[in-house]
Chain A
Amino acid sequence: MADLLSTAHYATIGLTVATGLLNERVRSMRRIFEEHGVNTVLRADFKPDSRTELLRLLRRFRNLYDVVAVRCVNQQVATVSCRDRRVDIVFFDVANRNLSFSHTFARLLRGAVEFNVVSDLLDQTDWWAFSRVHKAILVAREHHVKIILSSGARNYEMVRSPFQVSALAMTLGLTQEESIRGVSSTPLSIVRENRMKRAPEYVEQGVKIIIPSGQ
């Protein structure tokens, strides 16, 4: 998969790892990608069933990952994850007919909304999934929220190049500029911001230590 990502001209990828995975295993996985010239960003995907579970997961794991994403499975989780600053990305399951990215969530959203355009639409036999993604993209555009486009690849067969991810989003209603931003600058800016926050000299937003005490 790493060589395929390198062939597809990916510079950096978000590597979703399980929260219980050993550090050594994560390091060896990252090394494999880096050997092929692909940088990795550690990402955690949470799928909590309730607000309490989400808050517990955020308290425990937020500082360990570069990017934290939440799969919204119900209204309660979606509302909290859109509002919480610790959540970088929210995404909705296209197969979940009871919940989708709506105007309510777009108004609350502090992070970014992600569309897994490839994995959500691959092997879809009905028009319905396309329609849902299209509507969600229109809502996101209307509220000027940050949009992230991803292939959502779980295996090498699902890997698509950034050109294709961007083209799919264009077909579903984004402009060329927005779709390019969705695969390049927006995800990168989230990673940069989070890495800055995790640095020891960071105190809070707008405040960081420049000269350490004792010097």
Chain B
Amino acid sequence: MRAMARRYILVKIVCDRRVTNEEFHEALINSTKRYFGELGLSRIDPRIVKFDAESSTAIVSCEQPATSELESAVALTTRYAETPMSLLVLRVSGTVKGAARRWK
């Protein structure tokens, strides 16, 4: 069976303090679970492919048919552990290389 295509999303983290990979992962999963539930989370299947705390940038992958759902979940993220945090989607691509083109 052929694996389902994935999409790679370049995300910019806007937060007053530096966010770690674990914190970002937790915020992402919490937001996805909150708005789409466990079933939605399994359908979206978000995974962090690349993370850079220095530039507050990450590449997140998801199942291709659920791209807009992950983007929505990312858009509705407002805080992590009482710290205001917003996530900006800068680019959506079919490859990691394509998504990383805007990596700063």
Report if A160-B75 is in contact (Cβ < 8 Å); known contacts: A8-B88, A167-B67, A171-B69: yes
> Which of chain A's residues have a CB closer than 8 A to the CB of B86?
156-160
B25-54 at interface with A (beta carbon < 8 Å): none
> Which of chain A's residues have a CB closer than 8 A to the CB of B14?
4, 156-157, 159
CB distance B89 to A161 under 8 Å? yes
CB distance B72 to A159 under 8 Å? no
Residue tally, chain B, CB below 8 Å to A: 18
> Which of chain A's residues have a CB closer than 8 A to the CB of B88?
4, 7-8, 159-161, 164
CB distance B90 to A167 under 8 Å? no
A188 on interface, CB distance cutoff 8 Å: no
> Which of chain B's residues have a CB closer than 8 A to the CB of A163?
71, 89-92
Bound CA span A210–B75, Å: 47
A156-215 at interface with B (beta carbon < 8 Å): 156-161, 163-168, 170-171, 176
A-B contact count (CB 8 A): 61
* Contact-residue bracket for chain A: 20 to 34
A118 on interface, CB distance cutoff 8 Å: yes
**Min distance, Cβ B18 to any Cβ of chain A, angstroms:** 17
A contact face: mostly helix, strand, loop, or mixed: helix
Specify the chain B residue showing the minimal Cβ separation from A174: B68
CB distance B90 to A165 under 8 Å? no
- The proximity string for B residues 67-88 relative to A, scoring 1 for CB distances below 8 Å and 0 otherwise, is 1110110111010000010101
Specify the chain B residue showing the minimal Cβ separation from A117: B75
**Min distance, Cβ A175 to any Cβ of chain B, angstroms:** 11
> Which of chain B's residues have a CB closer than 8 A to the CB of A166?
68
**Min distance, Cβ A121 to any Cβ of chain B, angstroms:** 6
A85 on interface, CB distance cutoff 8 Å: no
B12 on interface, CB distance cutoff 8 Å: yes
CB distance B12 to A164 under 8 Å? no
CB distance A171 to B78 under 8 Å? no
Bound CA span A122–B74, Å: 11
- The proximity string for B residues 9-29 relative to A, scoring 1 for CB distances below 8 Å and 0 otherwise, is 000101000000000000000
Task: A4-B88, A122-B78, A168-B72 given; name 20 further pairs at CB < 8 Å.
Answer: A4-B14, A7-B12, A7-B88, A9-B90, A122-B76, A157-B84, A159-B86, A159-B88, A160-B86, A161-B90, A163-B91, A164-B72, A164-B74, A166-B68, A167-B68, A167-B69, A167-B75, A168-B75, A171-B69, A171-B72
| 22 sample A-B contacts, Cβ–Cβ < 8 Å, listed by A number | A7-B12, A7-B88, A8-B90, A9-B90, A118-B76, A121-B76, A156-B14, A156-B86, A157-B78, A157-B86, A159-B88, A161-B88, A161-B90, A163-B89, A163-B91, A163-B92, A164-B71, A167-B67, A167-B69, A168-B72, A170-B68, A176-B68
Give residues in B with beta carbon < 8 Å to A. Answer: 12, 14, 67-69, 71-72, 74-76, 78, 84, 86, 88-92
